[in-house]
A = this chain, B = another copy of it.
Amino acid sequence: MKPTDSHEDCRPVGEILHQIGGKWTVLIITRLGDGPKRFGELKRMVGGISQKVLTSTLRDLEMDGFVTRTVTPSIPPRVDYELTDLGRDLLVPLSAIGEWAIANRPRVLAARRQYLEDHPEAMPKRAAHVALMKQAAE
């Protein structure tokens, strides 16, 4: 599995990455890294995610075999999510990305500021930029 070769298997890999690369996936998987969590617990921990999106993201993760969903039919109901072996496996490279993001956010923000200085006309054509720029302004 050499890293710099393999021109053919780009697309299939892209599909998996796209799935993993969802805005919240990394956050959810890493939150589950230290044990099972209930739905509401996860929602609070991640923060800023709507239930609809959390629900469907968790469904995706369940579908891909990264998490298990355990329903306890009590009143009120209780649902726990937990990483599978595959999920814990994925957690390794994923948390590496997460830590990279935390560690290098300042560098990225600085690069964005620099870019805007050099290209004053650049202005946000993509939404993600706006969000990051707001952070850069802090």
1/0 per residue, CB under 8 A from B, across A101-138: the answer is: 11111011011101100000010011011011001000
How many copies of this chain? 2
Which of B33, B48, B108 lies in contact with A3, CB distance below 8 A? B33
Q: Do residues A96 and B98 form an inter-chain contact, with CB atoms below 8 A?
A: no
Contact B98 A17 (CB under 8 A): yes
**Complexed CA–CA distance, A109 and B12 (Å):** 11
Residues of A within 8 A of B (CB): 1, 3-4, 6-7, 9-27, 30, 33-34, 45-48, 56, 60, 62-66, 86, 89-90, 92-105, 107-108, 110-112, 114-115, 122, 125-126, 128-129, 131-132, 135
Additional 9 contacts, C-beta under 8 A, given A3-B33, A13-B102, A63-B122: A4-B34, A7-B47, A11-B47, A14-B24, A16-B108, A17-B21, A20-B21, A65-B111, A89-B100
